[in-house]
Structure 1
Amino acid sequence: MEFAELITIPRCDRVILYQPHQPNINGTLCITGHHLIVSSRSESQKELWLLHSNIDYIEQKQQGMTGGTLWLKCKDLRVIKIDVIGADQFAKVVVTLEALTNIADPTLHYPFFYQPMFTILEDGWSAFNPITEFAPILKGDEWRISYVNKEYKVCPSYPSAVIVPKGIEDSDLVSIANFRQAGRFPVLAYRHEGGAALLRSGQPLFTQNNKRCKEDEKLLSCVLGREEKGYIIDTRTQNLAQSAKGQEDIVSLGKCHVQSHDLNLIEWDKSNTVKKGFQTYGTPLRGGGYEGELHYPNWRRLHKPTDRRHNLLDSLTKLMDAVNDITSGVDKWLSRLESCGWMNNIKETLYCSCLVAQCLDQEGASVLVHDVEGMDSSLQITSLSQIILNPDCRTVRGIEALIEREWLQGGHPFATRHAKSCYTPQTQRNNRLHSPTFLLFLDCVHQIYSQFTCSFEFSENFLVFLFENSYSSQF
């Protein structure tokens, strides 16, 4: 496909550009295969270069034969207004932009055509090699690097090299992958000073004929030393974790009551036989389960519901509706801010991350974090925990390595999650696929940065840069 087939009008004169906090521009609109450009051809005014992939939704209003107005609502949260003169030109601009913003083939996107005009100082593809990043850990006798996934057949969303306990063979990892959602078996994310390990994975699945996965139990046992205890932080609600269970061979394994202010106060009530305290065995099941006390005796499961991926985009939409409403008074605006739920999502995510950091640092206990697939809230929690505990992750190179390790190599589906953002109408988006998970993570980092500014090598401008490039970039 040639871009020329989609561009019905490459140039349009006498347009007026309106941008927030910028002077209006009277000039020429040019449309290329990847950019929308508005220029006054004056050195005193900046040009607008907008990637088509940054446009989330195009709102239009035609004004008879005189032309019309476009509101380009962008994934970086900007709203850009353009007045176009002439009904025919206006219609062609709309058709062209609609076509160029909906190109599905990723090889036609700008990064595959971009040629940098500067000297590349470092090859980003090899800058953060797992062997180099985990070199101090691999020198010991507890962990090794495995290439079981070198052809990406065991787990398509994992990298070719992962860090696993030395006592686990590659054949064991294959069995565990079949037991965990999306093949995401437990892997090492971070090893804290003193030896406590932070792992992440997908949720466990019930197997046919209720067969246990002894390899999975063995892996988690290898993480712990003799008589050590660990915590499993399940970011799903307890009801969701148990919703897939069947109706046969119900075994009561108890209900865990946790005092959130003290991890030591954990009470196991094995006489509780209400339905929500059951673990089920029997028929093959769709969906997932959880690690039961019977087979994981040294691990304590804590449910900390932060896995709200399906609701995050709606929450962000309500937040931006409130931000863009300039008619609201202070009281009404604060009420809308609270009701949108975005700040509550930040609070719950930070609370869970601090809990994990407390387990690793103060308790000296290893932690396994998982949600459903281990691609969203799990990555938020493991990343934020490292930022809290590890000063290196608060440097520029450190957070770059963290994002590469936890988010890119960790398998977060950026292309899917960021295909649509908050300005896309609800009828045109799928909340199960589209979610601002990474944006929530960056906002959480910003909250920590706001309180401990001197502990960070970078500023909030760097976080904004990461946000903008995660949705639309030349890289």
Structure 2
Amino acid sequence: IKFVEGAEGSSSSVEKLSLTTTGCPLVIQCRNFRVVHFVVQRERDCHDIYSSLLHLLHPVSYEELYGFSYNPKQNDQQREEGWQLIDLGAEFERMGVPCDQWQLTDVNREYKVCETYPRDLYVPITASKPIIVGSSKFRSKGRFPVLTYFYQEKKAAVCRCSQPLSGFSARCLEDESMLQAISKANHNSRFVYVMDTRPKLNALANRAAGKGYENEDNYSNIRFQFVGIENIHVMRSSLQKLLEVIGTRSLSMSDYLVGLESSGWLRHIKAIVDAAIFLAKAVTVEGASVLVHCSDGWDRTAQVCSLGSLLMDPYYRTIKGFMVLIEKDWISFGHKFADRCGQLDGDPKEVSPIFTQFLECVWQLTEQFPQAFEFSEWFLLQIHEHVHSCQYGNFISNNQRQREELQLRERTHSLWAFLMSEKQNYLNPFYSPAYSEAHPVLEPSTLPYHFKFWRSMYHQFDRPMHPRQSILKTILTLRENSRKAESTLRALESVTHELFVRGEKKSRRD
């Protein structure tokens, strides 16, 4: 087999090209945007490799994924300790929940109210079980409003849900009572912001299908806000256009810039950041609680809630805290990683780079606030790599119920334990805890020139620079070498001092 250097490409695929004089070409496009070209001398061998790769590319069951056969030689106790590293109950306690206004409810303990939500959910004290159940029946996929972040300083809450099944005129008293309960749980504000993350035209189109958005005439305590993030199909198309541009060899600067603009990719990134900024300001400045939703509440809602929380809370800007944030807002609340990342042989129209966009938004923030983040971009790239590798069980399947049915805690290993064991590799040398203490809430600029093309993500295999050889890694190495040199210098100074003292004592005796 002959390896030929490739360029970045689109999504994961394998293609067998026509036979040439040198052999049979095989092109593999990876989910981390790498494209590898092989030339196999014998056509029969090429066909066998091609068939095997096709099978691996489109598994029909979760058990075929790498995570179920991966064995890092850990015993059961070590495996369980890895899974126990992230404790969402402890995370809500860190926020100050449960408290006098928010309670843990067992209404979904058996996944009977909402099968895509986690077992443990936090709701207002005044939200009774009939209100919760009634609200869930009026929300798409049963995803009723629940707490995802509590800002203790202002007693303001960030809640999430899916769109209401309101159509043009339907209403639900239990759902209205639920929003009233969220409003009453915050004594510092007389209203709740309802953020619909979709473009208004999309939400209006959903009304024709019996869904839509809240009618302010029925919800007297809300202020409505559309923020205009496009749907999964637009995002998939946008990434495809971006990759086509950057995968073109010998591209002129003008064509590159035109292609980057026409892809719309950075415009979509900006829209997500804009929404997160609105959320953070509503909570931290106005002291208002905010309810966020899109259509089903597991794509754009996850992006905005997690990014907004990261802007408000320095803990989420640490390595451990960022893991907790992903576990809470993405994994536990049912972002469909299996569908969006194409883990199994399913509908290609369900695949979309929603989580990739979130990681890029975080990277854009690290570029504006290099002192505010404990982790470097290599940490984000590693997470992206393993979301798609399925080497660890954290991101396998679509929700917590499915993960329990697959017994992932017993049969696979946790990515978080692996990342924590290699924490030194992901540290940002510019990180300053003092800076985060002085600037707990980040206020990024969304002027166009602040948004950059993330070369390390989409062109990370360019030669000669690999992310492991990035400027940050170089600085970390220099800092470590400097630390070792200083330690050696102190040891030598100590030895020199000791020899001097001995010499002085000997001189006195003589």
Q: For the superposition of Structure 1 and Structure 2, which TM-score range results when normalised by the shorter chain?
A: 0.7 to 0.9
**Compared CA separation, residues 287 and 57, structure 1 to 2 (3 A):** farther
Counterparts of 1:36-435 in structure 2, within 5 Å, are 56-63=12-19, 67-117=23-73, 120=78, 123-136=81-94, 137-192=96-151, 193-206=153-166, 212-225=171-184, 228-245=190-207, 286-419=209-342, 430-431=348-349, 433-435=350-352
Check conservation: 1:233, 1:303, Cα contact below 8 A.
Answer: yes
Check conservation: 1:56, 1:420, Cα contact below 8 A.
Answer: no
Counterparts of 1:7-22 in structure 2, within 5 Å, are 15-19=1-5
**Compared CA separation, residues 66 and 328, structure 1 to 2 (3 A):** closer
By how many angstroms is 1:112 displaced? Answer: 1.0
TM-score, scaled relative to structure 2: 0.71
SS at match of 1:369: strand
Q: In the aligned structure 2, how far is the partner of 1:328 from the partner of 1:194?
A: 52
SS at match of 1:17: strand
Q: In the aligned structure 2, how far is the partner of 1:389 from the partner of 1:238?
A: 27
**Compared CA separation, residues 317 and 205, structure 1 to 2 (3 A):** same
By how many angstroms is 1:204 displaced? Answer: 0.5
Check conservation: 2:15, 2:28, Cα contact below 8 A.
Answer: yes
**Compared CA separation, residues 170 and 19, structure 1 to 2 (3 A):** farther
Q: In the aligned structure 2, how far is the partner of 1:378 from the partner of 1:245?
A: 19
By how many angstroms is 1:474 displaced? Answer: 1.1
By how many angstroms is 1:183 displaced? Answer: 0.6
SS at match of 2:60: coil
Q: In the aligned structure 2, how far is the partner of 1:314 from the partner of 1:236?
A: 17
Segment drifting more, 69-78 vs 87-96: 87-96
Q: In the aligned structure 1, how far is the partner of 2:68 from the partner of 2:362?
A: 30
Q: In the aligned structure 2, how far is the partner of 1:87 from the partner of 1:72?
A: 16
Check conservation: 1:198, 1:368, Cα contact below 8 A.
Answer: yes
Q: Higher RCO, 1 or 2 (CA under 8 Å, sep at least 6)?
A: 2
Q: Name the residue aligned to 1:465.
A: 382
Q: In the aligned structure 2, how far is the partner of 1:439 from the partner of 1:400?
A: 15
TM-score, scaled relative to structure 1: 0.76
Check conservation: 1:236, 1:305, Cα contact below 8 A.
Answer: yes
Q: In the aligned structure 2, how far is the partner of 1:149 from the partner of 1:409?
A: 13
By how many angstroms is 1:99 displaced? Answer: 2.2
SS at match of 1:372: coil
Return the letter of the residue paired with 2:63: T
Gaps of 5+ in 1: 1-14, 22-53, 247-285
Higher strand content, 1 or 2: 1
Higher helix content, 1 or 2: 2
SS at match of 1:454: coil
Check conservation: 2:230, 2:268, Cα contact below 8 A.
Answer: no
Q: Name the residue aligned to 2:365.
A: 448
SS at match of 1:239: helix
By how many angstroms is 1:175 displaced? Answer: 1.2
Check conservation: 1:64, 1:87, Cα contact below 8 A.
Answer: no
Q: In the aligned structure 1, how far is the partner of 2:2 from the partner of 2:370?
A: 40
Check conservation: 1:203, 1:373, Cα contact below 8 A.
Answer: yes
SS at match of 1:231: strand
Aligned-residue CA RMSD in angstroms?
2.4
